[in-house]
């Protein structure tokens, strides 16, 4: 299964694509969509266009997005939420359901602790995806989100098989 992880951001939206095949993970591609200058609508359109091109090029079969946490800056949180809307809209337009994961859940799945820093995430992503060179911290986070989704999808598949076998 080809999985895209998306780390939403208005200035820099990270994306990472992995291939999950019977428990084996491999890196496909990663990068960062950036939007600079212009009004908010133009920046959101830029992110939508860039992310849509990634979907056309790599054709992911599953998608996962990091959930937004609310901070003290209400305006900043709202803008991040709008970028997150783009991160959820593009996979939905491609007909995919979108998995959503809290930042601590992603860190726990990839690093083993829920309060890992960006350096630790980058290190563990490189260990789990040999030969991978994340384009930046947002791309590394996106790859971690994809890895987290692959773990959750595999667990759900095993659970469904166990339930089906018990009938």
Annotation says 66 is catalytic: yes
Q: Residue 147: name the closest of 132, 166, 165, 163 by CA.
A: 132
* CB-based contacts of 126, cutoff 8 Å, min separation 6: 132, 133, 134
CB atoms within 10 A of CB 131: 7
| DSSP-based three-state secondary structure for 39 | coil
State the Rg of the chain over Cα. 16
Annotation says 100 is catalytic: no
14 contacts 65 by C-beta, under 8 angstroms = no
Alpha carbons 137 and 122: distance in angstroms, whole number: 7
Catalytic residue among 19, 21, 100, 138: 138
Annotation says 53 is catalytic: no
Catalytic residue among 21, 53, 66, 117: 66
Active-site residues, by number, are 7, 66, 138
């Amino acid at each position: 299964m080809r999985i895209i992880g998306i780390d939403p951001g208005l200035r820099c939206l990270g994306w990472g694509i992995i291939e999950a095949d019977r428990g084996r993970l491999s890196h496909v591609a990663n990068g960062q969509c950036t939007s600079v200058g212009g009004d908010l609508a133009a920046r959101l359109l830029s992110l939508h266009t860039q992310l849509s091109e990634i979907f056309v090029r790599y054709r992911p079969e599953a998608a996962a997005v990091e959930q937004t946490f609310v901070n003290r800056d209400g305006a900043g949180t709202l803008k991040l939420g709008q970028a997150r809307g783009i991160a959820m809209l593009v996979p939905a337009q491609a007909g995919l359901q979108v998995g959503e994961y809290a930042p601590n859940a992603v860190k726990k799945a990839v690093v083993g602790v829920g309060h890992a820093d960006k350096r630790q995430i980058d290190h563990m992503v490189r260990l789990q995806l040999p030969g991978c060179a994340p384009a930046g911290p947002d791309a590394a986070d996106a790859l971690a989100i994809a890895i987290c989704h692959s773990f959750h999808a595999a667990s759900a598949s095993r659970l469904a098989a166990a339930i089906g076998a018990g009938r």
